[in-house]
């Protein structure tokens, strides 16, 4: 049998349209596919999952507020009634720009235009022990894993006699003071304050620490000073221990070692301290910036290539106002996708392409009930209004009427009842009854 890499991906509809292959169905790749799906290209979207993930709400999956399905959108759904364009679930590993061929685990495909939109994964900055022992949150599965981990830690803690020995199972330490870290810390603190004590009356949650560690001097480094100060105050109000100017040295699964400070005991280290672009083989070293992003021109085109484009987190596009590249956020990826869609159409018509100009629509982060911070270009505000704005903007941004409806209901329920009801340890691994017996015997 031929290896997948040696045979073409089968069953691609035959057309006379130029083949546009998009790698990754995140904010950038999905937006581009939706813009061009009905022509003048044959769009072939590849992703290793069969769904789009709405990253801004991962933290609510991790803290038992939302189901994974509520923030996941089946990619096949946008390809209903698109006879030329298709989706395939595939892991892409490399491409050969000379013969314009992309290789994946289900076969190769020859492209006319290639768009790389693979997004980013967690960056541990080379520390393998942290990578091995901490929990990242860059996929919906990882978020679900965090939920399961925390619940099973409490189910374990309850069976430990001494208060002292339980602490490390109960403490949650979050590294990274960006929006993800801030939102996780706030939600964890609210669970501790309102929910867990009812579920686990045997445990003393005043002993449970929620710690947020940030290497820099401020939380939400990319936001305004008002937002930075407010988010810090909100977190402290909820009882989060915020440690600024603090560097994590190492973590062995039980002790977080800090530079020049006392270690913290925890079984749960949530790592939200950095990201790095996902890789693909096919470009030479000169194409990559030291941080792993790929240099592109103002049309998102790989420098020196004619038909390869890069979107979002992976792209390093130097605009005058952003000499070090744009922030790695959804807004940038989506705006680049919109611009690229126009440019690709221009290209087929022989028209000039237009350079990308990022329009910063603002940023926001939520800390807890009625506590959020919003920076808009023309106004900054905090508190209840900011929280309602955050809710509205995220609800509108979620794909799919059903997801919108269910998330709204979930939020309303959680708000009114103080009872995010997904505290279920549905074990991720499927074990057959027969194997269970063996596992028990092995013990």
Give the footprint of a second copy on residues 41-100 (CB under 8 A): 49-51, 67-69, 72, 74, 76-77, 79-81, 83, 86, 88-89, 91, 93
Q: Which is nearer to a second copy, 281 or 319 (CB)?
A: 281
Residue 269 within binding range of a second copy, rule CB under 8 A: no
Is residue 116 at the binding interface for a second copy, with CB under 8 A as the rule? no
Buried/exposed code over 95-130 (b: 16+ C-beta within 10 A; e: otherwise) = bebeebbbbbebbbbebebbbbbbbbbbbbeebeeb
Answer yes or no whether residue 357 interacts with a second copy by CB under 8 A. Answer: no
Our finding on whether 206 is near a second copy (CB under 8 A) is no
CB 407 within 8 A of CB 422: no
Residues 13-42 that bind a second copy (CB under 8 A): 13
In the beta sheet, which residues pair with residue 42? 19
Q: Which is nearer to a second copy, 40 or 201 (CB)?
A: 201
Residue (of 382, 345, 349) closest to 366 by Cα position: 382
Which residue, 153 or 227, has its beta carbon nearer to a second copy?
A: 153
Cis bond before residue 339 (omega within 30° of 0): no
- Determine if 10 is a binding residue for a second copy (CB under 8 A): yes
| Three-state secondary-structure class, residue 110 | strand
Residues in the chain: 443
* Of 56 and 400, CB closest to a second copy: 400
Q: Could you tell me which of 293, 348, 350 has the C-alpha nearest to residue 316? A: 293
Both structure tokens of 268: 């749960």
Q: How far is the CB of 98 from a second copy (least distance, A)?
A: 24
Q: How far apart are CA 86 and CA 45, in angstroms?
A: 6
DSSP 8-class letter at 400 = S
In the bound complex, what is the minimum distance in angstroms from residue 70's beta carbon to a second copy?
Answer: 8
Contact criterion met (CB below 8 Å) for 24 and 47: yes
Q: Does 400 bind a second copy (CB under 8 A)?
A: yes
Closest contact distance (angstroms) between CB of 302 and a second copy is 24
Residues 182-201 that bind a second copy (CB under 8 A): 198-201
Nearer to a second copy, 4 or 18 (CB): 4
Q: Please tell me the distance from the alpha carbon of residue 361 to that of residue 342, in angstroms, as a whole number.
A: 20
Nearest distance from C-beta of residue 280 to a second copy, angstroms: 12
């Amino acid at each position: 049998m031929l290896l997948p890499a040696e045979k073409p991906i089968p069953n691609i509809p035959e057309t006379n349209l130029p083949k546009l292959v998009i790698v990754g169905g995140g904010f950038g790749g999905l937006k581009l596919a939706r813009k061009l799906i009905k022509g003048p290209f044959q769009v072939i979207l590849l992703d290793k999952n069969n769904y789009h993930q709405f990253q801004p709400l991962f933290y609510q999956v991790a803290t038992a507020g939302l189901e994974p399905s509520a923030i996941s959108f089946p990619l096949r759904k946008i390809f209903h009634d698109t006879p030329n364009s298709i989706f395939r679930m595939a892991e892409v590993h490399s491409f050969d720009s000379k013969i314009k061929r992309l290789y994946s685990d289900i076969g190769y495909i020859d492209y006319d235009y290639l768009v790389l939109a693979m997004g980013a994964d967690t960056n541990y900055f080379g520390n393998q022990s942290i990578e091995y022992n901490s929990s990242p949150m860059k996929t919906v599965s990882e978020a679900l894993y965090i939920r399961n981990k925390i619940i099973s830690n409490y189910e374990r803690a309850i069976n430990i006699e001494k208060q002292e020995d339980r602490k490390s199972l109960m403490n949650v330490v979050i590294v990274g003071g960006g929006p993800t870290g801030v939102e996780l810390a706030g939600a964890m603190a609210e669970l501790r304050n309102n929910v867990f004590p009812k579920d686990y009356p045997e445990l003393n949650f005043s002993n449970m620490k929620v710690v947020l560690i940030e290497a820099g001097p401020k939380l939400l480094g990319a936001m305004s000073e008002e937002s930075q100060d407010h988010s810090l105050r909100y977190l402290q109000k909820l009882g989060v221990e915020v440690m600024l100017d603090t560097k994590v040295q190492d973590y062995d699964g039980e002790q977080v070692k800090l530079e020049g400070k006392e270690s913290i005991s925890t079984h749960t280290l949530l790592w939200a301290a950095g990201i790095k672009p996902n890789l693909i083989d096919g470009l030479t070293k000169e194409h990559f910036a030291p941080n792993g992003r790929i240099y592109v021109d103002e049309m998102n085109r790989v420098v020196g290539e004619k038909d390869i484009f890069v979107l979002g987190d992976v792209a390093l596009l130097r605009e005058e106002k952003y000499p070090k590249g744009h922030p790695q956020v959804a807004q940038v990826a989506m705006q680049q996708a919109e611009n690229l869609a126009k440019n690709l159409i221009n290209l087929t018509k022989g028209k000039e392409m237009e350079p990308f100009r990022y329009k910063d629509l603002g940023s926001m982060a939520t800390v807890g009930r009625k506590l959020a911070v919003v920076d808009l270009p023309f106004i900054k505000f905090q508190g209840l209004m900011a929280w309602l704005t955050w809710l509205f903007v995220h609800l509108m941004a979620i794909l799919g009427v059903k997801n919108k409806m269910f998330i709204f209901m979930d939020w309303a329920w959680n708000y009114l009842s103080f009872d995010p009801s997904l505290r279920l340890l549905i074990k991720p691994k499927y074990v057959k009854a027969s194997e269970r017996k063996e596992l028990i015997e092995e013990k």
